């Protein structure tokens, strides 16, 4: 479904790498930073979140590699499914 709103990003118009970055940015700005600023996270929890962030980056990188196998500079055959 396409929404005609200037701030809406169509899921099929974003790469796996950019999706991973968007997820990481949201988690950091909206969840992690407020918790750290308010002293609601321990150092151990911060380290665990860093590990999870690394896992998300790996998943996004592998998903991008998979996407690149099918893309070849053309529109993905699954973009309208």
Q: What is the pLDDT along the chain (81 residues), one digit of tens a residue?
A: 455 666 666 666 788 888 899 889 999 999 999 999 999 999 999 999 989 999 999 999 999 998 888 776 666 555 555
The DSSP symbol for 12 reads G
Q: And the tokens for 65?
A: 């590699």
Q: How far apart are the first and last CA of the chain?
A: 10
Provide the residue ranges of all domains of the chain, joining segments of one domain with +.
15-70
Where does residue 20 rank: exposed (0-12), middle (13-18), buried (19+ CB within 10 A)?
buried
User: How many helices and strands, by DSSP H and E, does the chain display?
Assistant: 3, 0
């Amino acid at each position: 479904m396409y929404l005609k709103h200037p701030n809406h990003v169509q899921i099929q118009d974003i790469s796996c790498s950019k999706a991973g970055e968007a997820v990481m940015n949201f988690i950091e700005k909206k969840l992690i930073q407020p918790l750290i600023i308010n002293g609601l996270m321990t150092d151990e929890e911060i380290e665990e979140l860093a590990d999870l962030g690394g896992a998300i980056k790996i998943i996004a990188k592998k998903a991008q590699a998979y996407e690149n196998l099918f893309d070849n500079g053309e529109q993905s055959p699954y973009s309208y499914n």
